[in-house]
Every structure is written in structure tokens, then in C-alpha cells.
Amino acid sequence: MTTTREADPRAEQQRTYGNWRLGRRAGLFGLGPVGTGAAFVVMVLAAGLMAVSFLAAIVALLAGAAVLTPLAVRVNNRTGLQVLSARLAWTWGRARRRHVTSPVSPPK
């Protein structure tokens, strides 16, 4: 009498170890190293401008925040800048009717 025993599907899979997480990037507020350096440059520039004019320092901080905020915001593991540029490219392509495919011309 011969019996066949089905193999356990878990035994054939490669062993993995749980609780693994993707490493976080270096930088402040979700910015990478370049973005963090740019944030420090904006802060130093605003601090230097405070000696000249408080309004100029506020304008420099607002301009820096407008540039750096899309880099810090993450949506589905993409930066806000990548999301905005993809959406803008899609909108431009749609405006030029690049989303519409023409049917294959009939044979002659």
C-alpha cells in the first residue's frame, strides 16, 4: 500500500523574517539631504535679511516654504513635486488630445 503525501506549501517558500521596514532617508521633515541643505540656506538667508528688513525676511521664508513644501509632502511614496508634475503632464497631454487613440486604418 502506497500513500502519497502532499507537500506542505509553506515548506517550499523561502523563509523570511518579519518586522522588516524600509529605511528612512536622512533629512529633516521628510526632505532628503539636498532639500535639508536648501532649507538651511533659506533659514540663513532669512536671518541675514532680518538685519535689512523684516518684510524681506518674511518674503524669503514664504518663497522658501513654497519651494520646499512640495518636496516634503509624500503621497503614495512619491513627493508632492512628482505628483504635481505627473498631473500637469497628464493635463497637458489631455489638452493636446494625446489620450485619444485613433483606430487602425482599414486595409485598402
Per-residue pLDDT of 78-99, as tens digits, reads 888 889 899 999 999 888 877 6
C-alpha cell at 12: 517550499
Task: Show pLDDT as tens, one digit a residue, over the chain (108 residues).
Answer: 566 656 565 556 777 677 777 777 777 777 888 888 989 999 999 999 999 999 999 999 999 999 888 888 888 888 888 898 999 999 998 888 776 666 665 566
Amino acid making up residue 86: A
Which residues make beta-bridge pairs with 79? 74
Looking at residue 43, its pLDDT comes to: 92
Q: How many CB atoms lie within 10 A of CB 56?
A: 15
Average pLDDT value over all residues in the chain: 81
Looking at residue 94, its pLDDT comes to: 85
Backbone dihedral angles phi then psi of residue 49, each to the nearest 5 degrees? -75, -20
Q: Distance (Å, rounded) from C-alpha 2 to C-alpha 8?
A: 19
C-alpha cell at 83: 505628483
Looking at residue 56, its pLDDT comes to: 93
Which residues make beta-bridge pairs with 75? 78
Please tell me the pTM assigned to this model: 0.56
Spacing of C-alpha 38 from chain mean position:
17
For residue 74, the surrounding DSSP H or E stretch is strand 74-75
